Structure 1
Amino acid sequence: MPFRPAIASMSLGRAWVHELDKKLREASEAGFEGVEIFYEDLEYLARTYGEVSPATLLQASAKLRQTCDALNLTIIGMQPFLFYEGLIDREEHAAKIEKLKVWFKIVKILGTDIIQIPSNFQQGGISGDLDLIVRDMIEVADLGLKEDPPVRFAYENLAWGTYVDTWEKLWEVVTRVDRPNFGCCLDTFNIAGRVWADPASPSGKTPNADADLKASLENLVKTVDVNKVFYVQVVDAERMTPPLTPDHPFHVDGQPSRMSWSRNARLFLYEQDQGGYLPVVEVARVFLKELKYEGWVSMELFSRTMSDPDPSIPHTHAQRGIKAWKQLAKELQL
């Protein structure tokens, strides 16, 4: 499968600010071939049919699939299935499984087979017991295997995850789950943003940033089975000046600095004029060249700009995203 550019629906603007149809149209016209669907977008679309319920979510899914088909956009996955693994309250866990059964129906209608699970970043009510985390992931994987067609799960380490915040910890879970439909999503931000960058530091970097990233990426190439990489995401972020300390405007009490940074200040690749500074090309080169990954490359973005009500936002984000993809493809000779 050749490299194919995708963009997350959320990247083009907040669901409650910009209509999904417009965002999808801009993505298609910019030249994107695929799109990640955010549950939040689907939920807002469902509200046009009444209260959000399994029935209205399925109605919205059918409408969304129709729109994407008309725009020649492949839906590559649905995300995020939040706050799942390691829950201490097993009744809450059971409720998540019931929700997942609705998601199975949704992804069938959307024509995709991937559900993305980001690592749990709740600050309470979850366990770091790896045995429990693995059991939880085996449960969803086995349920997914019973579906026709089978549903795959792309686990993603978030740089601010409570217990799974690095690709190394992610990979241990993937390896122990050991199911053909359980793999991962590798993200340049969540790798570089954890091992190399620190938004709360005056330098914007961790103490041994370059050496640690080099060692981590070398280990990734030696360790990760590319067949377990279901898709990748490529994105940069602003250097926080001043640092994202408790007196910073982006700071939120009880929220890790990397999460506050991620929610407000990501950028598309090659936007150094806006403060981009992560070694994204270096990480992407490892994914796309050294690891020899081929497939969907998503230009996912979170930013305070997505809440801007300016109607031009979906267009400008789509154009920025495809420009970044084309420049990356040229630089890496993809």
Structure 2
Amino acid sequence: MTYQPAIMSASLGRAWLHDLDYKLDQAAKAGFKGIEIFYEDLDYAARKISGNDAPTSEHILQASENVSSACKSRGLEIISLQPFLFYEGLKDRDQHEILIEKMKLWLKIAKIFNTNTIQVPGNFLPAEQLTGDLDVIAADLREIADMGAAVDPPVRYAYENLCWSTHVDTWEKVWDVVKRVDRPNFGMCLDTFNIAGRVWADPASPTGKTPNADAELKASMERLVREVDVSKVFFIQVVDAERMESPLVEGHPFHVDGQPARMSWSRNARTFMYEADRGAYMPVEDVAKAVIHGLGYKGPVSMELFSRTMAEEGQHVPDEHATRGMASWKKLEQRLNLN
């Protein structure tokens, strides 16, 4: 498998402001070969079909057919459907069962999309709603892995640490869970932002960094290369973020009461790799090198972005994000000799 640049649909603009077909046009025009479909875009497309804010499963599946056709006509492979949120480790087992029913719908969507991957981010609900018991977390994830293995064609799950996840906030913890789940169709999504954003960066710090940041990241990447089975890395995401001009604490424009600083930072201030002019500052290339050269990963490379810039109005938003994302990919391709 060769490297394939992909971009997440949400990375080109927000669903309620920017038409998905237009975003797909811009992704294809920029030269992307694949796309991650963000469920928010699909839900919004279903609302347009239903004419209300409560689309049925039938509306969702109809929208999925439309999105699948739109991607095919533009030569875009759907590399994953994401994010299946707030699932594992719930204390509320009734809600767990509701999400199991939702997964049945997601598996139908995946078949329509002809994608074999659903991405599951580490749960970031408040700690009082979750168990930190990794055996329970693994059992929950094993349940959906078995559901995915039972459909035709089978579906894989890519589990991802978010740097603000309540319990699974590092790649090391994700890898631990993957081994506990112990299913061939359950693996990892490795994200340069979420890895470096946890071990190296701290938006609430005046320095923008954690204590001993460089040494800790170096040691973490050495462990990753030494311990992770590359066959369990289902896809990767490469992105950076802005260094905050002032610590992201109470009084900062991005601060939200009760929300982790890293989450607020992620939602507002990610950048594509190499965008120093936009404040990008993390050593995310080191993470990408560890995964691509150190582990020997070959496969989809997604330019996933969240930023306040996506909430601007106008067609220039998808245009500019697609162009910026491809420029980032081209530089990564050159610097890591991926062509």
Aligned to 2:197: 193
Q: What SS does the corresponding residue of 1:162 show, helix, strand or coil?
A: coil
Q: Given the alignment, which residue of 255, 260, 271 partners 2:275? A: 271
Report whether the alignment pairs 1:16 with 2:34. no
Q: Given the alignment, which residue of 60, 65, 68 partners 1:62? A: 65
Q: What SS does the corresponding residue of 1:227 show, helix, strand or coil?
A: helix
Aligned to 2:76: 73
Q: Given the alignment, which residue of 114, 133, 143 partners 1:111? A: 114
Tell me how far 1:154 sits from its aligned partner.
0.3
In structure 2, what is the Cα distance between the partners aligned to 1:79 and 1:248? 30
In structure 1, what is the Cα distance between the partners aligned to 2:56 and 2:296? 41
Aligned to 2:265: 261
* Cα displacement string for residues 70-95 of structure 1 (whole angstroms, at most 9, x for unaligned residues): 00000000000000000001110000
Report whether the alignment pairs 1:85 with 2:88. yes
Q: Is the 8 A contact 2:303 2:329 kept in 1?
A: yes
In structure 1, what is the Cα distance between the partners aligned to 2:186 and 2:84? 14
* Cα displacement string for residues 18-37 of structure 1 (whole angstroms, at most 9, x for unaligned residues): 00000001000000000000
Q: Given the alignment, which residue of 182, 186, 189 partners 1:178? A: 182
Q: Given the alignment, which residue of 115, 126, 130 partners 1:126? A: 130
Aligned to 2:158: 154
Aligned to 1:290: 294
* Cα displacement string for residues 226-281 of structure 1 (whole angstroms, at most 9, x for unaligned residues): 00000000000000111101110100000000000000000001100110001011
Q: Is the 8 A contact 2:135 2:180 kept in 1?
A: no
In structure 1, what is the Cα distance between the partners aligned to 2:89 and 2:234? 23
* Cα displacement string for residues 96-126 of structure 1 (whole angstroms, at most 9, x for unaligned residues): 0000000010110011011100000001311
Q: CA RMSD in A?
A: 0.6
Q: Is the 8 A contact 2:267 2:306 kept in 1?
A: yes
1:97 partner letter: I
Report whether the alignment pairs 1:226 with 2:230. yes
In structure 2, what is the Cα distance between the partners aligned to 1:53 and 1:154? 26
In structure 2, what is the Cα distance between the partners aligned to 1:305 and 1:213? 29
Aligned to 2:245: 241
Tell me how far 1:144 sits from its aligned partner.
0.8
In structure 2, what is the Cα distance between the partners aligned to 1:132 and 1:286? 30
Q: What TM-score results when the alignment is normalised by the length of structure 1?
A: 0.99
Tell me how far 1:287 sits from its aligned partner.
1.1
1:56 partner letter: H
Aligned to 2:147: 143
In structure 2, what is the Cα distance between the partners aligned to 1:225 and 1:162? 25
2:3 partner letter: F
Q: Which of structure 1's runs of 4+ aligned residues deviate more than 4 A?
A: none
Tell me how far 1:172 sits from its aligned partner.
0.3
Q: What SS does the corresponding residue of 1:6 show, helix, strand or coil?
A: strand
Unaligned runs of 5+ in 1: none
In structure 2, what is the Cα distance between the partners aligned to 1:11 and 1:125? 30
Q: Given the alignment, which residue of 213, 216, 234 partners 1:212? A: 216
Q: What SS does the corresponding residue of 1:17 show, helix, strand or coil?
A: coil
Q: Percent identity between the aligned chains? A: 61
Aligned to 1:35: 35
Tell me how far 1:310 sits from its aligned partner.
2.3
Q: What TM-score results when the alignment is normalised by the length of structure 2?
A: 0.98
Unaligned runs of 5+ in 2: none
Q: What SS does the corresponding residue of 2:129 show, helix, strand or coil?
A: coil
In structure 1, what is the Cα distance between the partners aligned to 2:139 and 2:114? 28
In structure 2, what is the Cα distance between the partners aligned to 1:248 and 1:280? 25
1:236 partner letter: D
Q: What SS does the corresponding residue of 1:148 show, helix, strand or coil?
A: coil
Aligned to 1:323: 327
Q: Given the alignment, which residue of 288, 300, 323 partners 2:304? A: 300
Q: What SS does the corresponding residue of 1:37 show, helix, strand or coil?
A: strand
